[in-house]
Chain A
Amino acid sequence: MTTPSALHYSKEDFVSGADVRWCPGCGDYAILSVMQKTLADVTTIPREKHVFISGIGCSSRFPYYMNTYGFHTIHGRAPAIASGLKCVRPDLTVWVITGDGDGLSIGGNHLIHCLRRNMDLKIILVNNQIYGLTKGQYSPTSEKGKITKSSPYGSIDYPINPLCVAIAAEASFVARTVDSDPRHMSQVLSRAYKHKGSAFVEIYQNCIIFNKDAFAPIIGREHRDDRAIYLENGKPLIFGKGGTKAITLKGLSLRETEFATAKKEDLLIHNESDPSPAYSYLLTQMEYPEMPVPFGVFRAIEKPTYDGMMEEQAQFAREKKGAGDLKKILYTEDTWTVTS
C-alpha cells in the first residue's frame, strides 16, 4: 500500500486526457485546473481512492476530465449515489460536482438530506446563475427579473441562496470561493478536502456565453476591494482598499462602518466554529448590492458523520451479538423438525 508520505503527485497525474469540451473562456477550466493542482499538492491518500460523482449540467462533465474514478450520473442525484458509495466504502474520498440547477433545483432534496446527515462528502456547487447546457434559461439562483429565453418578460422567481440552504441544513462545513481567484479557490478546496463530514463549497463561476460577468460587480478587479470580504477566522470582517472598512453587529443587523473609528467591541469577529448556525446564516445575508459579499469558510464544525456512525452501529451489533451467523437467524426458536 502507498503510504501518504510516498505520494508525490503532480497536477498532470490528475489529468485524464479526455478532450475538455467546455466553451472557450468558461470558468470551469479554472476550477478543473485548480482542483487537479490542489489534489496533487494536498492528497494524503493515493489517487485511486478519489472518486468524482456528478449530476447533469455543464459542470457535471467534470469527472470525465479527472484521472480518478468517476461517475457522471443523472440530473440532481449525485449526492444520493455518492452517499451509497461512501456508506460501503468509507476508505474513499468522494467528491460531488454539481451546479445551481442540478444541486438546487432538480436535486435540492438530495442536497439538503445529504448535508443534514453529515455524510462525509465534498460537495462542490458551481454557481453561474443560469442554465448553460440547455442554452440559457434562468436558474434557481438567477436574480429576480432576469430576462432569458424562458423569461422574456423577466423571471418572477425569487432566487435561492445556496449557502442559506446549506446552513439551514446544518452542514458542518460551508464555504464560498470564485473561479477567478485560483489561490483562494485552492485554499478553500484544500480545507474542504481535509474536513471530516459534509463539506459544501459554492464557487461563483462565469458562464461566458449565457450569463457573462454575472459576478463582475462583486468580484471584478475594479469593485472587489469594496464589495468582497475575505473571511479569516478570529479576525474582524474588514474590506475596502487597505482594509479601511469593517462590519459591525447591532442586534441582529450587520452594518458597514469605518474600521478606524469603530468601537472595538462592536466589530464582528469571524468565528467559523461557532456551534450555532445563526452566525454563519447572518453572513449569508450579506448580499450584493446592499452589502459586501463574504468569501472563504463560513462555518467549519466537527460532528460525527453518517458513514462513521453507520460503521459504529455495525461494530456495536457485532460486539453485542457476535459476527452474523446465518444458521442462527434461519433456524430460530420456532423451528420444528419433521422426521420420516
Chain B
Amino acid sequence: MKTLKEIELESVTIRFAGDSGDGMQLTGDQFTDTSAIMGNDIATLPDFPAEIRAPQGTLPGVSSFQIQFSHEDIFTAGDAPDVLVAMNPAALKVNIADLLKGGLLVVNSDSFNEDNLKKAGWKSNPLLDGSLKDYSVLQVPFSSLTRNALAESKMKLSDVDRCKNFFALGLMFWMYGRKMEHTLQWIQDKFAKKPEMVDANIKALKAGYNYGDITETMASRYIVKQADIAPGSYRKITGNEATALGIIAAAELAGKTVLYGSYPITPASNILHDLSKFKNFRVKTFQAEDEIAACGAALGASFGGEIGITATSGPGICLKSEMINLAIMVELPLVILNIQRGGPSTGLPTKTEQSDLLQVMYGRNGDSPAAIVAPSSPANCFDYVIEAIRIALTHMTPVFFLSDGYLANGSEPWKLPELDKLPKIKINHPQTSDGPFLPFTRDEKTLARPWAVPGTPGLEHRIGGIEKADKTGGVSYDPINHHNMTMLRMEKVKRIADDIPPAEVLGDARGKLLVMSWGGTFGTVRAAVLDLQREGKKVSHCHVHYLNPFPKNLGEIVKNFETVLIPELNTGNLSVLIRSQFEGARVVPYNRITGQPFKIREIKEEIGKLL
C-alpha cells in the first residue's frame, strides 16, 4: 500500500493541448464544469486554430484549452500553466515554452513515434534527449491504455482511439480530487443515441481515474479547496452565451421582438447558433446573404418598432459601416455587436484583439457619432448587452457592443441575476399628433426623436439618408440646417453620459499612477493591480465600460493622477481617445498585438517601470 501525499494548493492552472481532432476543448470544458460545480472560482482560455482540421500531428493543428481553478477570487485563466497535458509531439512543441519551470508535464508517450516527431519538427525525441529536464515529466501511454480498457468494445479502432481524451481527463480528475459524476452524466446525455459511445467513453474516463489511483507513478494528489464565493445560484458561462441570454432578457424587459441579423463569422457565430434555438422567445434570427443585409434587416426591424441587432467581427463592421451611418442619420435604434478578433483584414480569426475601438468610434463618412459600450468579463456580457440595447432604444441611436474573442470563448462562474430585479426598458411610441407629425422634434433631455412606427394612423412620415430639415424631417440642403443637425446628432450622443454610471477607481482616488483598461483585459489588469496593492505599492485601477460617451467623471479621474498607464491589445486606441478628450493627460500606452491576452506578469512589470 503506497502512502499518498495530499498537497493543498491555492490555485492550479492546467493546459490541455493536442491535435484539433483530439477533443481538447471538450476535455477542458468538462474539467471546468466539474471544478465550478465543486465550488472553485474558475477562468478559462480556449485557443484553437482557424482551420477546422489542419493536417494531423502538425504544429498549425494544435488546439489547447487552459483553465485556472482556485480557492481564491481569480480574474484570468492564469499566466503560465502549472500542468501541461500534451497529447502529441506537436502539442508539446507549441506549448512547452509556457509551462512553469518545475511544472508537471503529462505526455501521451504512445504518440512520440518517429513520424509524429518529424511532423512536429523535433530533431530527436524530447522524452529521451534531456530537453525536458526542467520539468517533472509523467509519461503515460494514453493510446494503448485506452485500447486495453476498451478491448471488448465492438467499435472501430479509430473510434476507440478517439476516447483517449477521456482517459486523460480521468487521470486529471484523480490527480486533483475531482468528482466524475458531472462528466458521467454529460456523456450519457451527449451520446444518448449511441450506447456504444456512452459505454466506451465512460470506461475510458474511469480507466484514467483508476490509473491514477492504482499505479504508483504519482507520489501526490492535490487539493484546491472551495473558493469563498458570495451566496447565490451559479452557472459556468462564456461571453457569447451570456450575450445571447442578455439579448433574450432585454427583449423581455422591453416587451419587444428582437430581429438578430447576422452572417456567420468567427468568433461571433455561436451567438447566432444560441439565439436560433430560442424561437419560443421574442427573438427572430435572420441569417442574411451578407454582412450588409444582416445589418440592413436589423435596421428594418428598428424602423418597424422592434429591436434590431446585428453581430459580426471587425471585417464585418467594415461592410456594415454604410448601413450604421444610415441608422445614425435617420436616428433609429440599432445594436451592433463586434466580437473583435485580430486584424486588419482577415487577420487572426480565432485570436483576440481590441483593435476596433477607433474603427467603431470614427470609421464612417461624415461626422457620425455612435455610442460604444464594452463588457469586461464573460459573465457581464449579459449586463452590457442589455445596457447597449437600453441605450439604443431610449436614445434613438446605434450602439456598439465591443466584446472580443477572449471574452466570447472564455468562461467563468456567473452569479445568476434575480430576474425580477432587472429594470424594465421603457419605450414610448407616439400614437397621435397635434397637427402634422414632425418626426425630427426632440426630447428636451435626451434629444432623442419620437419613434413613430408604421401602422400608426395619422403619423405617416418619410425618413432617409439625405440631410433633413430640423423637426419636419423634409429633405434639406440648407447650409445652416446641416450645421445644426450635425451638432444635434453629436450632442444627442454626448448626453448619454447623463444616463450612465460614473467610472470607479480601485485604490487611491489620486496619486502617481493610474492603470486604465477597457474590454477583455479587465481581469489581467485587475489581478496585477491587486497583487501590487497587496505588496503596498501605490497604484490605482480604473476600468472603462462606456467608451463613447465616457462617464462624466472620467476627466476628473484622469486629472487626479500624474501618469495614466493604458495597456491595450492594439497600438493604442483608448490612449488616442483619452489624449484627445482630456488635454494634459500624461498617457503611457502599453501595447501588445500577439493575438493572446496579456499576462499578469507583463502588466506588473510595466507598472513597476512607472513607480
Contacts and interface: CB of A to CB of B under 8 A. Distances in A.
Interface of A: 2, 16, 18, 46-49, 51, 53, 63-64, 66-74, 77, 79-89, 91-92, 109-110, 112-113, 310, 313-314, 316-318, 320-324, 326-327, 329-332, 334-340
A80 B280 contact: no
A134 B233 CA distance: 62
Contacts of B460: 16, 47-48, 67-70
Contacts of B284: 87-88, 310, 314
B372 interface: no
Contacts of B278: 317, 324, 329
A274 B296 CA distance: 33
Contact of A64 (B235, B308, B459, B475): B475
Interface in B355-395: none
A16 B89 CA distance: 73
A109 B296 contact: no
Contacts of B288: 80, 113
Given A64-B462, A318-B280, A339-B231, A84 B416 contact: no
B172 to A, nearest CB: 19
Given A63-B464, A110-B289, A334 B282 contact: no
B281 interface: yes
A85 B300 contact: yes
Contact of A85 (B282, B293, B301, B475): B301
B290 A81 contact: no
A51 to B, nearest CB: 5
A233 B13 CA distance: 74
A130 to B, nearest CB: 22
B231 A338 contact: yes
B188 to A, nearest CB: 13
Nearest to A21: B475
B301 A84 contact: yes
B4 interface: no
A64 to B, nearest CB: 5
A125 B306 CA distance: 28
Contact of B282 (A80, A82, A92, A324): A324
Given A313-B279, A324-B280, A109 B37 contact: no
B464 A71 contact: yes
B493 interface: no
Interface string B435-468: 0000000000000000000111111111111100
Top 3 A-B pairs ranked by shortest CB distance?
A: A84-B300, A72-B464, A84-B297
A338 B259 contact: no
Contacts of A80: 288, 292-297, 300
Given A48-B459, A69-B455, A324-B282, 11 more contacts: A48-B454, A48-B455, A71-B303, A71-B464, A77-B293, A83-B286, A84-B298, A87-B286, A335-B416, A336-B233, A338-B39
Given A314-B280, A323-B280, A324-B282, A74 B322 contact: yes
A31 to B, nearest CB: 17
B257 interface: yes
Contacts of B281: 324, 326, 329
B207 interface: no
B458 A48 contact: yes
A322 B281 CA distance: 9
B460 to A, nearest CB: 5
Contacts of B455: 48-49, 69, 89, 91-92
Nearest to B281: A324
A103 B141 CA distance: 63
A338 B234 contact: yes
Nearest to A81: B300
Nearest to A65: B462
A330 B296 contact: no
A323 B465 CA distance: 38
B383 to A, nearest CB: 13
A115 B94 CA distance: 49
Q: How large is the interface on B (under 10, 10 to 19, 20 to 34, 35 or more residues)?
A: 35 or more
A300 B436 CA distance: 40
Interface string B208-234: 000000000000000000000111111
Contact of A70 (B252, B282, B463): B463
B261 to A, nearest CB: 6
Residue from the set B252, B290, B459, B465 with the largest chain A CB neighbour count within 10 Å: B465
B331 to A, nearest CB: 13
A123 to B, nearest CB: 14
A337 B234 contact: yes
A73 B326 contact: yes
Contacts of B416: 330-331, 335
A83 B293 contact: yes
Contacts of B161: none
Contact of B279 (A46, A74, A317, A326): A317
A81 B232 contact: no
A323 B283 CA distance: 12
Interface in B451-493: 454-466, 474-475
B457 A321 contact: no
A72 B462 contact: yes
Contacts of B293: 77, 79-80, 83, 109-110, 113
B270 to A, nearest CB: 15
B330 A71 contact: yes
A79 B235 CA distance: 41
Contacts of A74: 322-323, 326, 465
A61 B217 CA distance: 80
B102 interface: no
Given A71-B330, A336-B37, A317 B280 contact: yes
B513 to A, nearest CB: 35
A338 B230 contact: yes
26 contacts: A16-B460, A53-B300, A73-B465, A74-B323, A77-B293, A80-B296, A81-B299, A83-B297, A84-B286, A84-B298, A84-B301, A88-B300, A89-B304, A89-B306, A89-B454, A324-B278, A327-B419, A329-B248, A330-B245, A331-B235, A335-B416, A337-B231, A337-B233, A337-B234, A338-B231, A339-B231
Nearest to A68: B460
A242 to B, nearest CB: 47
Given A64-B475, A330-B416, A338-B232, A70 B297 contact: no
B268 interface: no
Contacts of A87: 259, 284, 286, 297, 300-301
B79 interface: no
A87 to B, nearest CB: 6
B33 interface: yes
Contacts of A63: 462, 464
B36 interface: yes
Given A70-B461, A337-B234, A109 B303 contact: no
A241 to B, nearest CB: 45
A325 B187 CA distance: 27
B223 to A, nearest CB: 19
B46 to A, nearest CB: 18
Contacts of A318: 279-280
A18 to B, nearest CB: 7
Contacts of B461: 69-70
B55 interface: no
A64 B231 contact: no
A84 B463 contact: no
B299 A84 contact: yes
A62 to B, nearest CB: 10
B545 interface: no
B547 interface: no
A64 B286 contact: no
